[in-house]
Amino acid sequence: MSDIARYWDQQAPGFDDAPDHGLRDAAIRSAWASLLIPLMPLAPARIADLGCGTGSLATLLGEAGHMVSGIDVAASMVTRARVKAAAAGVNADFEIGDAMTPPWPRATFDVVLGRHVVWALPERALALGRWLKLLKPGGRLVLIEGRWWTGAGLTADELLAIVRAHGRRASVTPLRDADLWGGPVTDERYLLVSPPDRVV
Ligand SMILES: C[S@@+](CC[C@H](N)C(=O)[O-])C[C@H]1O[C@@H](n2cnc3c(N)ncnc32)[C@H](O)[C@@H]1O
């Protein structure tokens, strides 16, 4: 097991204790649903969730009728994602995999989703180039990232530059709503969507 996988495996048991990770609180869950579901095409869309963690977003989108495929480098995250999705009765599949080298054919997905994952990758531009190839024509990249008070993360300007360098149009929306995070935030948290226009 790589050091990266080992690190995230160790995070898995307590991962969902963070309000925005586990989405256990109805108001927080509702805030994420209100943010993400309108960004998706009509259900059932095919969605890739790279670095899916414990599967909270995959399950949320599965409950909205979408078909989500998730990968994560950490086996303990994948196990938890499978259990969560099965308990919710949603149509989702999860496998252990490296987001640097996604295991799917090109032009497979309507949406490629990643929350709090791009920042953790060793070669972000290379990874995003590969992620974009997973999209069907007209498909959409949806990323939630941040530059957190801890000093970790990447800024919206940094991520925009990478996405635009791949020839994509993109827009960024700050995510300051306390309901998304379980409390007020003062650091930089944002949504990046490419293309910005509504996908039908
Ligand atoms: C901060 S967590 C976010 C999890 C999930 N996206 C969410 O929003 O709840 C980062 C996740 O990325 C995964 N990860 C980190 N590097 C990865 C890689 N190279 N390939 C796949 N997953 C990776 C970790 O195992 C972890 O589950």
> Residue 98, Cα to own-chain centre: how many angstroms?
14
For residue 179 and ligand 1, the question of a CB distance below 6 A is answered with no
Residue 176 Cα to ligand 1 midpoint, Å, equals 22
Residue 102 Cα to ligand 1 midpoint, Å, equals 13
For a pocket test of ligand 1, which of 6, 94, 117 has the largest count of ligand atoms closer than 8 A to its C-beta?
117
pLDDT in tens, 160-187: 999 999 999 999 999 999 999 999 999 9
| Mean pLDDT, residues 4-14 taken together | 97
Give the E-state strand segments of 41-186 in sequence order.
Answer: 46-50, 67-72, 92-96, 109-115, 135-147, 171-174
Mean pLDDT of the chain: 96
Q: According to the model, what pLDDT value does residue 100 have?
A: 97
Q: pTM for the whole thing? A: 0.97
Q: Residue 171's closest CA among 158, 155, 156, 185?
A: 156
Residue 87 has pLDDT above 70, yes or no: yes
Q: According to the model, what pLDDT value does residue 200 have?
A: 47
Q: According to the model, what pLDDT value does residue 91 have?
A: 85
Whether 126 contacts 92, CB under 8 Å: no
Residue type for position 7: Y
pLDDT in tens, 34-58: 999 999 999 999 999 999 999 999 9
Angle formed by the axes of helices 26-36 and 56-63, nearest 10°:
70
For a pocket test of ligand 1, which of 29, 72, 84, 144 has the largest count of ligand atoms closer than 8 A to its C-beta?
72
Q: According to the model, what pLDDT value does residue 199 have?
A: 52
Residue 41 Cα to ligand 1 midpoint, Å, equals 24
